[in-house]
Amino acid sequence: GGDESNRNSDNIPLLKAVITAGLYPNIIVADLSKKVPKLSTRAGEVFLHPACLDATQEASLDSKMLVYHEMVKTAKVYVRDATTISPYALLLFGGAIKVQHRSSRITVDGWLGLDAAPKTAVLVKQLREHLDRMLLRKIDNPNEKMSELDTRVVSSIALLLETEPAPAKGANAAPPGGAAKSDVKPGDWPCPQCGHNVFASKRECFKCGFRK
């Protein structure tokens, strides 16, 4: 309890990875080459629900991968409670991964593909395999202490997760400072920690958790 339990409470990338592990396979892929990104799941095209926080900043998503909590169908197929995630969160806490050496890609569950040099893809796969074995051991024996190798693997994973992808380049990319200029309204403030635009009515940055 106490401080130890909350040690990573402000580590947003790690929290997103935990959410990814809990909500997988609820994954959305965004086509960021379009002015308004096209969102797709394995079942087909979806739309962010108007009540979803990211729906107001859909044109400036900082990753082509999102995870969502709920899907509903009304006039359109909507997803709720969606947030962008790092590709590393998907690779390390999502489905089964396979390295495609010839095409320099790594796939998740046979449908989600990411470009990756073969050497990098193999290293990520080995990291994932070690993590899976380590988690199984902890489930079987919760009191077992981590080895030095386990500790190094966990540290490496934490470092990877903290390496957030840069905003996509193109018409829908956000300029330095967070949101597109047209999205900035009087009273909005730039987060001094991550640079994202925060609505005037909010005292906390929804992206990194910084409190004004």
Reply yes or no on whether the pLDDT at 29 is more than 90: yes
Per the prediction, the chain carries an average pLDDT of 81
In the chain, the DSSP E strands lie at 27-31, 38-41, 44-48, 65-67, 70-73, 77-80, 83-84, 97-100, 105-108, 112-115, 189-190, 197-198
pTM of the model: 0.71
Give pLDDT tens digits for 137-187: 999 999 999 899 999 998 888 888 887 655 444 433 333 333 333 345 677
pLDDT at 22 over 60: yes
Q: At residue 113, does pLDDT exceed 60?
A: yes
Position 4 scores a pLDDT of: 64
Provide the pLDDT for residue 45: 95
